[in-house]
């Protein structure tokens, strides 16, 4: 609970730690309400220090005693830190503290989740476990003893000894405290082994609650594939004899890369065909890979301070994206990544929460685990790779791993490795790390004497605290097609560095059709008004799958915008083009399913706002409904054949090919159900033997409002499975009609299974409401009020999850004065709550600013 005004921390104020730590010994005597933590920490003065002040972080700790070199000391406790006069020489700090995991509902530090002990220390949770210099540039070797009457007692590194009611662990790799982990509980391991390229035998264990053993195979398989992949592409081998993963039901985020002991939200690791969808499988695979890849990019090489978070997160997201592209379809993976980037990061970058990939200040670091740090951070790595080429990229990564192994690094270190490898000057590229906002890229064309010229102009709009922007380096991948659809110039990367810059292609017989920003080669908003209308042509002919999809998206967006702003009817040419793609059996079904997907309500709202309109969420919703209905009729004759052709026989497999067929089949089913009263969906629902098919059919039934029986039967079938019941909560709200969404949500919050302190359940309910754009923004304001009520209630219990969901309000300035007033009032109500957490205080200040 906050007692003073939250402090802002600045990157510019960084100073090295006064003391370093060589070794840490921890003993845990576990008890739900009175766990004792005894620490023995070997400190020595840091030769590079600029001050001699000894300071330890500590929050919500009851100090029992403390000693320096064996002598009792009186400590000076002020708020969240402890200061002490110590010798300017190596010394040993020992202390005993008491903490209460059972009442730790914030899920940070040591807490309990349904009877099991677990930890989450990133970013600054270790200080809730014991007094420590809780900063990532202090790296130490940890030895941990756990005492407790539970069958499984785990910590980082290798198991060194154990007996009845105790276990000892030793992690030989120096690590920052945020990578510490402890788990204790009545758990069962599903095990496997992996032999690294150099012959190390690694025991792999996935620990779950009794009853979840059948949901482990896929996670273990994804882990092994990740381990092979990292050896093949990055020469990165695993470095301990054991790799443990634990599934936890109460978790604020997806997962955590603690050294040798990854802790996962159970939703991000447990999978079975009956209970998990194809999308779940794909996400699990990506998160397993992500956390595993952190072993090198994050753990072996960590961050000097939390401003450098993108150093590990941007790079690790990029690596997990590469992995997914490699294991599945590269084209489909790229489209999915860009949809996610636009949906979350562009939205953030164009609102009050915009911040650079490397922020320069924060109040609460947990508020900066954002799409900008993660997803835009990954785009910066991708651009670097595009600019220097594959070969130099992997050379630079080799150098990074060799030069910085065991260190806590900065973005400067990272860029220097590329400069040293390639001889390039990356000064201008570095602006991508310091400048917030999404660049707009306008293009125009000229054709004369066989020379085709593209002229680009870049401009980044102001963001909070950053009025003036400078030009950034933009790699623009371009290919040229001739008017019959053949490719005349294969993909080339144009390197734009100026505010305005032209590029020419000579010796062309006819004016070509350009395909610009292939593969989405830079995270910018491309404005093609200056080059005429090529979207339908490119949808039919582009050889670049991303731009082929992008062209379909552009057509859909334009049709919808015309429907909304001019009352136009759905464009026939668009419908025909879409039908042609749908019918084209030479195209990957997963790709076709993506082309059939319409822009989201939020994307349309942002587009309208950028065009100078005030978006009306109800009009957007109506236009999408009308367009879907029109598609269903226009395509009606083609649908049954495609639906049948997408049938996947045999037992369920989550592989990309089968999943792609199901994706297209279910897209088609959703259209069929708009004209057949739900008969086909009901049939699929009744015969489904996997969750992908069952949930898709359930969604169709909810959508056409024939849902009561399905809602009941689904609940009764799955009431024992928390992860499936999360879906049950979420789907009813996602498909609720705008006028009923808040009411349905409110009703569901009264359901006995609405365990609001569980982040997954809270998100699947209130988060689903914020994701139902027309429902959340319904003119009654009921959506805003309900979400605000719940955020106010959750904040004292779990500030992190509360603060994340505050982003639902980040777009408030887009809307009409009435909605603005209602959203602002809801925000003000949150901001005025006494004793608001530091997390939410900062979010309110930034959103309302």
Active site residues: 291
Q: Which residues pair with 37 in a beta bridge?
A: 28, 97
369 touches ligand ARG by CB under 6 A: yes
The listed partner (Zn ion, ligand ARG, none) that binds 122, CB under 5 to 8 Å by sort, is ligand ARG
256 touches ligand ARG by CB under 6 A: yes
- Number of chain residues interacting with ligand ARG (CB under 6 A): 13
Tokens of 93: 């700090």
The listed partner (ligand ARG, Zn ion, none) that binds 332, CB under 5 to 8 Å by sort, is none
Residue 290 beta carbon to Zn ion: minimum distance, rounded to whole angstroms = 5
Residue 176 beta carbon to ligand ARG: minimum distance, rounded to whole angstroms = 12
Tokens of 25: 């010994």
Residue number, 292 or 505, with CB nearest to ligand ARG = 292
Tokens of 694: 């069952």
The Cα 844–Cα 840 span in angstroms is 6
Cα dihedral 570, 576, 579, 580, rounded to 10, equals -150
Residue number, 19 or 369, with CB nearest to ligand ARG = 369
Residue 832 beta carbon to ligand ARG: minimum distance, rounded to whole angstroms = 26
The listed partner (ligand ARG, Zn ion, none) that binds 691, CB under 5 to 8 Å by sort, is none
Residue number, 212 or 291, with CB nearest to ligand ARG = 291
Residue number, 212 or 257, with CB nearest to Zn ion = 257
- 411, 311 in Cβ contact below 8 A? yes
Residue number, 286 or 844, with CB nearest to Zn ion = 286
CA angle 314, 317, 321 (to 5 degrees): 135
The listed partner (ligand ARG, Zn ion, none) that binds 61, CB under 5 to 8 Å by sort, is none
Closest C-alpha among 283, 314, 392, 338 to residue 544: 338
DSSP 3-state percent helix, strand, coil across the chain (nearest 5): 45, 20, 35
123 touches ligand ARG by CB under 6 A: yes
From residue 6, alpha-carbon distances to 180, 352, 434, 849 in Å are: 26, 19, 24, 16
The Cα 45–Cα 359 span in angstroms is 30
Question: How many C-beta atoms lie closer than 10 Å to residue 235's C-beta?
Answer: 14
Q: Which residue minimizes CB distance to ligand ARG?
A: 369
Residue number, 107 or 268, with CB nearest to Zn ion = 268
Residue 130 beta carbon to Zn ion: minimum distance, rounded to whole angstroms = 25
The listed partner (ligand ARG, Zn ion, none) that binds 369, CB under 5 to 8 Å by sort, is ligand ARG
156 touches ligand ARG by CB under 6 A: no
- 429, 522 in Cβ contact below 8 A? no
Helices 309-327 and 377-388: crossing angle in degrees, nearest 10, is 70
253 touches ligand ARG by CB under 6 A: yes
The Cα 517–Cα 479 span in angstroms is 9
The listed partner (ligand ARG, Zn ion, none) that binds 277, CB under 5 to 8 Å by sort, is none
The listed partner (Zn ion, ligand ARG, none) that binds 249, CB under 5 to 8 Å by sort, is none
Taking CB under 6 A as the binding criterion, the range among 77-85, 254-262, 514-522, 787-795 that sits at the site for ligand ARG is 254-262
- 116, 186 in Cβ contact below 8 A? yes
122 touches ligand ARG by CB under 6 A: yes
The listed partner (ligand ARG, Zn ion, none) that binds 123, CB under 5 to 8 Å by sort, is ligand ARG
Closest C-alpha among 266, 7, 299 to residue 171: 299
Taking CB under 6 A as the binding criterion, the range among 248-256, 580-588, 725-733, 820-828 that sits at the site for ligand ARG is 248-256
Residue number, 238 or 735, with CB nearest to ligand ARG = 238
Taking CB under 6 A as the binding criterion, the range among 249-257, 268-276, 326-334, 399-407 that sits at the site for ligand ARG is 249-257
Residue 253 beta carbon to ligand ARG: minimum distance, rounded to whole angstroms = 5
In this structure, the strands spanning 440-448 and 525-530 are parallel
Using CB under 6 A, which of 366, 372, 745, 837 touches ligand ARG?
366
291 touches ligand ARG by CB under 6 A: yes
668 touches ligand ARG by CB under 6 A: no
Taking CB under 6 A as the binding criterion, the range among 146-154, 216-224, 250-258, 329-337 that sits at the site for ligand ARG is 250-258
255 touches ligand ARG by CB under 6 A: yes
Q: Fill in the per-residue mask, 201 to 220: x = in contact with ligand ARG (CB under 6 A), - = not in contact.
A: --------------------
302 touches ligand ARG by CB under 6 A: no
Output b/e per residue, 389-419; b: 16+ Cβ within 10 A: eeebbbbbbeebbeebeeebbbbebbbbbbe
Using CB under 6 A, which of 285, 305, 313, 349 touches ligand ARG?
313
- Number of chain residues interacting with Zn ion (CB under 5 A): 2
In this structure, the strands spanning 91-99 and 35-45 are antiparallel
The listed partner (Zn ion, ligand ARG, none) that binds 253, CB under 5 to 8 Å by sort, is ligand ARG
Using CB under 6 A, which of 257, 379, 544, 603 touches ligand ARG?
257
- 230, 214 in Cβ contact below 8 A? no
- 282, 218 in Cβ contact below 8 A? no
The Cα 132–Cα 144 span in angstroms is 15
The Cα 73–Cα 76 span in angstroms is 10
Residue number, 380 or 788, with CB nearest to Zn ion = 380
Helix and strand numbers, DSSP H then E, in the chain: 30, 31
Closest C-alpha among 92, 86, 96 to residue 69: 92
Contacting Zn ion within 299-328 (CB under 5 A): 313, 316
Taking CB under 6 A as the binding criterion, the range among 255-263, 520-528, 549-557, 711-719 that sits at the site for ligand ARG is 255-263
The listed partner (ligand ARG, Zn ion, none) that binds 308, CB under 5 to 8 Å by sort, is none
Residue number, 106 or 335, with CB nearest to ligand ARG = 106
The secondary element (H helix, E strand) that includes residue 143 is strand 140-147
Name residues whose C-beta falls within 8 Å of residue 253's C-beta, 6 or more positions apart in sequence: 120, 265, 369
Residue number, 734 or 798, with CB nearest to ligand ARG = 798
- 669, 681 in Cβ contact below 8 A? yes
Closest C-alpha among 421, 404, 495, 415 to residue 458: 495
Residues that bind Zn ion (CB under 5 A): 313, 316
Residues that bind ligand ARG (CB under 6 A): 122-123, 252-253, 255-257, 290-291, 313, 366, 369, 800
């Amino acid at each position: 609970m906050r007692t003073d005004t939250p402090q802002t921390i600045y990157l510019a104020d960084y100073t090295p730690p006064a003391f370093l730590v060589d070794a840490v010994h921890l003993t845990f005597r576990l008890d739900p309400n009175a766990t004792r933590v005894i620490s023995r920490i070997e400190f020595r003065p840091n030769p590079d220090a600029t001050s001699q002040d000894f300071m330890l972080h500590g929050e919500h700790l009851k100090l029992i005693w403390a000693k320096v070199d064996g002598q009792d000391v009186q400590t000076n406790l002020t708020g969240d830190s402890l200061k002490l006069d110590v010798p300017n020489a190596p010394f040993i700090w020992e202390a005993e503290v008491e903490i209460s995991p059972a009442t730790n509902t914030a899920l940070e530090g040591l807490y309990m989740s349904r009877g099991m002990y677990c930890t989450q220390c990133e970013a600054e949770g270790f200080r809730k476990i014991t007094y420590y210099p809780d900063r990532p540039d202090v790296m130490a070797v940890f030895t941990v003893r756990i005492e407790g009457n539970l069958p499984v007692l785990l910590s980082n590194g290798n198991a060194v000894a154990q007996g009845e009611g105790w276990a000892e662990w030793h992690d030989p790799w120096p690590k920052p405290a945020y990578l510490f982990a402890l788990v204790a509980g009545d758990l069962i391991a599903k095990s496997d082994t992996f032999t690294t390229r150099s012959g190390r035998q690694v025991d792999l264990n996935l620990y779950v609650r009794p009853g979840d053993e059948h949901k482990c195979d896929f996670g273990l398989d994804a882990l092994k594939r990740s381990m092979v992949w990292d050896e093949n592409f990055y020469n990165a081998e695993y470095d301990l004899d054991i790799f443990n993963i634990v599934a936890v039901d109460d978790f604020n985020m997806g997962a955590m890369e603690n050294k040798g002991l990854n802790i996962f939200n159970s939703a991000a690791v447990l999978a079975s065909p009956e209970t998990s969808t194809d999308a779940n499988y794909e996400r699990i695979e990506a998160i397993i890979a992500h956390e595993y890849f952190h072993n090198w990019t994050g753990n072996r090489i960590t961050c000097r301070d939390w401003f450098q978070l993108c150093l590990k997160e941007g790079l690790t997201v990029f690596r997990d994206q590469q992995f997914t592209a490699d294991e599945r379809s590269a084209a489909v993976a790229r489209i999915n990544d860009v949809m996610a980037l636009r949906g979350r990061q562009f939205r953030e970058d164009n609102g009050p929460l915009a911040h650079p990939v490397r922020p320069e200040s924060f109040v609460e670091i947990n508020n900066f685990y954002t799409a900008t740090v993660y997803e835009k951070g990954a785009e910066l790595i991708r651009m670097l790779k595009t600019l220097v080429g594959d070969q130099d990229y992997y050379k630079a990564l080799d150098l990074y791993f060799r030069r910085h192994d065991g260190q806590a690094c900065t973005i400067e270190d990272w860029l220097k490795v590329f400069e040293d490898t390639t001889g390039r000057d990356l000064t201008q590229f570095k602006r991508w790390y310091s400048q917030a906002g999404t660049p707009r890229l306008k293009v125009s064309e000229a054709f004369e004497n066989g020379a085709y010229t593209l002229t680009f102009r870049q401009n980044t709009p102001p963001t909070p605290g950053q009025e003036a922007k400078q030009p950034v380096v933009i790699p623009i991948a371009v290919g040229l097609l001739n008017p019959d659809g053949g490719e005349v110039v294969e993909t080339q990367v144009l390197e734009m560095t100026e505010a305005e810059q032209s590029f020419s292609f000579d010796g062309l017989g006819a004016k070509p059709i350009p395909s610009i920003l292939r593969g989405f080669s830079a995270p910018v908003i491309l404005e093609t008004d200056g080059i005429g209308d090529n979207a339908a042509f490119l949808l039919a002919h582009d050889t670049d799958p991303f731009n082929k999809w992008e062209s379909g998206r552009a057509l859909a967006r334009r049709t919808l915008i015309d429907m909304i702003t001019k009352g136009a009817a759905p464009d026939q040419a668009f419908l025909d083009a879409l039908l042609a793609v749908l019918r084209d059996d030479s195209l990957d079904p997963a790709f076709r399913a993506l082309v059939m997907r319409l822009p989201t309500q939020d994307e349309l709202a942002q587009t309208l706002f950028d065009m100078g309109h005030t978006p009306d969420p109800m009009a957007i919703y109506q236009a999408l409904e009308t367009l879907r209905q029109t598609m269903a009729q226009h395509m009606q004759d083609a649908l049954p054949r495609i639906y049948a052709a997408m049938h996947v026989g045999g037992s369920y497999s989550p592989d990309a090919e089968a999943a792609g067929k199901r994706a297209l089949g279910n897209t088609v089913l959703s259209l069929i159900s708009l004209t057949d009263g739900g008969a086909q969906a009901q049939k699929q629902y009744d015969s489904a033997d996997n969750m992908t098919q069952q949930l898709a059919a359930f969604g169709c039934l909810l959508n056409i409002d024939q849902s009561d029986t399905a809602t009941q039967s689904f609940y009764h079938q799955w009431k024992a499975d928390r992860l499936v019941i999360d879906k049950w909560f979420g789907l009813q709200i996602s498909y609720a009609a705008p006028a009923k969404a808040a009411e349905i949500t409110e009703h569901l919050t009264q359901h006995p299974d609405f365990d609001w302190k569980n982040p997954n359940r809270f998100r699947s309910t209130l988060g689903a409401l914020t994701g139902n754009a027309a429902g959340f923004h319904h003119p009654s304001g009921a959506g805003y009020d309900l979400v605000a009520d719940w955020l106010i209630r959750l904040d004292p219990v779990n500030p992190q999850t509360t603060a994340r969901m505050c982003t639902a309000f980040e777009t408030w300035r887009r809307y009409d004065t009435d909605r603005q007033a209602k959203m602002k009032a809801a925000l003000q109500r949150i901001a005025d709550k006494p004793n608001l957490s530091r997390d939410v205080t900062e979010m309110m200040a930034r959103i309302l600013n």
